[in-house]
Amino acid sequence: MVSNVNIIAPDLSPNTDGIHVQSSTGVTIKNTVIKTGDDCISIGPGTRNLWIEKIQCGPGHGVSIGSLGRDFNEDGVENVTLINSVFSGSDNGLRIKTWARPSKGFVRNINYRNIVMNNVENPIIIDQNYCPNNQGTSATPIAMAFDCSPSNPCSGIKLIDIKLTYMKSTKAQSFCKNIGGTSGGVILPNNCL
């Protein structure tokens, strides 16, 4: 268990993940403040039954599952819960990133509940075409982005009661590619499922 910890690194420092969990079962992270130049929490292959609650993330790259799929015979990630947490000024909020190549890895049974996003560039993003070591900046009104592979599309995605707005005068948008799922309740921006 990781509890009541403050993790701080300069916001532009590379490769400074706050907490990395991999090949682990039954880990709990709670009541933790993470300010870093990379992922606040990164979740690697072989992670199961991870419980995260009451974290504050930002600056940083959010809570990321992955990157996954770098190796063909890679374990999956399952049963991850993140609740009652706040993201402030981070590049990403809730992110799943996988390499665009065949792999036995998987991501399933991921639950995010009662999450607050304050000035987050990419609040919700799934990227199945992740390719590290690209550089540059982007500040767009895309609040939800699902970029999934045509050969192994995202499925079973459930969007329920999401309210994300863009900080400027235009409406927030969503982007979907090769995704299937359902939605319920109020969804802002309009979802693209």
Active site residue ranges: 38, 61
Judging by beta carbons within 10 Å of its beta carbon (0-12, 13-18, 19+), is residue 66 exposed, middle or buried?
A: buried
DSSP 156-178: EEEEEEEE---SSSSPPEEEEES
DSSP-derived secondary structure letter, 150:
S
CB 70 within 8 A of CB 46: no
Using DSSP's 3-state secondary structure scheme, residue 43 falls into: strand
Retrieve residue 32's tokens: 């933790």
